[in-house]
Amino acid sequence: MKHNNNFLGILLIMVMGLSISCSKDFLNKEPYDKLVPQSFFASEKDLALYTNSFYQRQLPTGLSVATADEMGDYTSKSNSPAFIAGSFTSVNQASWSWADLRNINYFLKRFNNPVISQAARNHAEGLARFFRAYFYFDKVMTYGDVPWYSTPLDVSDVDELYKGRDSRTLVMDSVMTDLDYACNNIQDIKDNSASSVTRQVALAFKSRVCLFEGTYRKYHTEQNLQNSATYWLRQSADAAKKVIDAKQYSLYNTGNPSADYRALFTRETPVAQEVMWAVVYNNNLKKWHDITWKFSSATYGARWGLNKQFVNTYLKTDGSRFTDIQGYDTIQFAREMVSRDARLAQTIRSVGYKRSDGSAAPPNFGYTFTGYQILKYSLDDKVYDSKAEAYNSIPLMRYAEVLLNYAEAKAELGEMDRTVWGETIALLRNRAGVASQVPESADTYLQQTYFPEIGDKYLLEIRRERGTELVYEGLRYNDLLRWKKGKLLEMQWKGIYVPAKDKPMDLDGNGTPDVAFVDAVPAGKVSGVIYYVLDGKSAKLSEGDKGFVIWRDDEKRVFDNKKYLKPIANSDLVLNPKLGQNSGWE
């Protein structure tokens, strides 16, 4: 059932007592019976009121979704995240919080009042267990082994409070149990507002969780869990297939490849045909965000941009590889954007892009360092470039991801074929205006640049498709973790090709120059030209007086094996030495 804004306002007051402290004094607080009668869990409305708190407390903001891929290999920003550049240690790691888990477990201990219908209780329990799985999945991705708690603890529960971490296998088996309950008991009613967790959302999330765990166990052989990888991959494929077979969702495809993809990320009302779950914004309620401002500002944002290595992976509209063109790597921007997968021009500012007032808007090197400026979530009206009043809703789960999860799980199981291709990858490419023929061979560019260990042509294409379809949706870093490809975060940040320093370039092919790469801004500036100053350190051209824009080669980005898990914070270890530290962070 949908969460109500009035209920959420009440809950903000009710849950203030749930804040966690490092001393764990929060465990001695009863979050609800101090504020409401003991008869609170007496109706279906009461259950709905409480379960709304799970959304309020645990959903990310739209901005955090849109910018999470700054920890991806295919993007650049003003400087590298501290985790991969600099001297990040366990001292830098923030203390973990368990308040959200207590909120869930408190509910599960007290909600089961027989005066409420069994169906309503099952649905409410399913939501609680979904959010517990949501909570623990994040903890396992971050830390590996963590303590499992299925009941709210009291300060007298000393042994449980200060126990060591439970094994990854125990925790993830418990997550699976919770997800299975959620998938079987949450109401199977489509929510066209995309604001609620329904049975199909739970199944889609299960496909994500199981794909992560199956591939993590397969590729992280140091865990000695390879023998169980197949089970998790099978669970992922089965959950995704249930969503597909339910036919409640499909790809949003009006037959307009140049606009259909971006419409999913710029509309106030989520596109219910494809968007399953979203962070919903509303202009009338003044529920706004500042994503456009972040991506269209030289100072407020971090000047995000895609890297050329990744842009090269976008196919031509005829389904051929851009990287099979002779001299592909030195083709200038205005030409490299032509006849490409339509998602490219809906992800970055490309040739022909205009603002809502009709003004041309090529990549702005005041807002990006590589020239491949992120467009995907930005609204076209310039008014949102400088204030936090954008109201487009941000997807958390799309049917497109379900198709990709299914395809990847089947490929990892050795079951990918033309039929599965036609049910998944072909549909995504057709929506993007790309011919969807099955590849004849493995793509050597993908192998050489990203995945030298992968020889399966299907799996390579699925990973390509996952990148182009889900770029900047907050999933890339977790993909690198599960594939054991963290080393890709050390990749050079490479931008557009520049044929000559000091010579203004026309980026959108309209006959007027847009940018010039110089050692110093000239006295006689050309109107409309942005001058990109090269200092030879943080900003330079790969061949000195020409070549690729190279950004932040002065930073040393390092991703060693210990970084597949984050450290336990020192403050948590002081409270409970039994937790132990993750390997390499001692």
- The confidence score (pLDDT) of residue 87 equals 83
pLDDT tens profile 183-192: 999 999 999 9
Nearest to 399 by CA among 235, 200, 541: 200
- Checking phi first, is residue 152 left (phi over 0); if not, alpha (psi -120 to 50) or beta? beta
* Dist. CA 114–CA 210, nearest whole Å: 34
Asked if 472 contacts 347 with a C-beta cutoff of 8 angstroms, the reply is yes
Q: Residue 37 pLDDT more than 60?
A: no
Lowest mean pLDDT segment, chosen from 29-38, 202-211, 288-297: 29-38
Q: Residue 449 pLDDT more than 70?
A: yes
User: Looking at this protein, which amino acid is placed at residue 158?
Assistant: V
- The confidence score (pLDDT) of residue 86 equals 83
Extents of the domains making up the chain = 311-373+481-555
* Dist. CA 422–CA 570, nearest whole Å: 50
- The confidence score (pLDDT) of residue 39 equals 66
Other C-beta atoms lying within 10 Å of the C-beta of residue 192 = 11
Other C-beta atoms lying within 10 Å of the C-beta of residue 284 = 7
First to last CA, the chain: 46
Q: Residue 38 pLDDT more than 80?
A: no
- The confidence score (pLDDT) of residue 135 equals 98
Q: Residue 234 pLDDT more than 80?
A: yes
- The confidence score (pLDDT) of residue 509 equals 87
- The confidence score (pLDDT) of residue 36 equals 53
- The confidence score (pLDDT) of residue 284 equals 98
User: 3-class SS at 376?
Assistant: coil
Asked if 374 contacts 304 with a C-beta cutoff of 8 angstroms, the reply is yes
Give the sign of the dihedral formed by CA 428, CA 432, CA 435, CA 441: negative
% of the chain surpassing 70 pLDDT: 93
Query: What value does the CA radius of gyration of the chain take, rounded to a whole number of Å?
Result: 25
Give the sign of the dihedral formed by CA 477, CA 480, CA 481, CA 485: negative
* Dist. CA 167–CA 175, nearest whole Å: 12
Query: Could you tell me the pLDDT band of residue 456, with boundaries at 50, 70 and 90?
Result: very high
pLDDT tens profile 250-281: 999 999 999 999 999 999 999 999 999 999 99
Q: Residue 14 pLDDT more than 60?
A: no
Nearest to 184 by CA among 126, 128, 232, 145: 126
- The confidence score (pLDDT) of residue 550 equals 98
The predicted model gives 200-214 an average pLDDT of 99
pLDDT tens profile 392-440: 999 999 999 999 999 999 999 999 999 999 999 999 999 999 999 999 9
- The confidence score (pLDDT) of residue 40 equals 85
Query: Could you tell me the pLDDT band of residue 11, with boundaries at 50, 70 and 90?
Result: very low
DSSP conformational letter for 534: -
Helices (H), 94-189: 99-110, 118-143, 158-161, 168-185
The predicted model gives 343-372 an average pLDDT of 97
Angle at 526 between CA 522 and CA 531, to 5 degrees: 55
Q: What is the mean pLDDT of the chain?
A: 93
- The confidence score (pLDDT) of residue 9 equals 38
User: 3-class SS at 533?
Assistant: strand
Question: Is 118 buried (19+), middle (13-18) or exposed (0-12) by CB count in 10 A?
Answer: exposed
Q: What tokens does 5 get?
A: 């804004």
Query: Could you tell me the pLDDT band of residue 59, with boundaries at 50, 70 and 90?
Result: very high
Which of 12-16, 236-240, 507-511 holds the top average pLDDT?
236-240
pTM equals: 0.93
pLDDT tens profile 462-486: 999 999 999 999 999 999 999 999 9
Query: Could you tell me the pLDDT band of residue 337, with boundaries at 50, 70 and 90?
Result: very high
Run of H or E including 495: strand 493-498
Question: Is 560 buried (19+), middle (13-18) or exposed (0-12) by CB count in 10 A?
Answer: exposed
pLDDT tens profile 559-585: 999 999 999 999 999 999 999 999 999
User: Looking at this protein, which amino acid is placed at residue 506?
Assistant: D
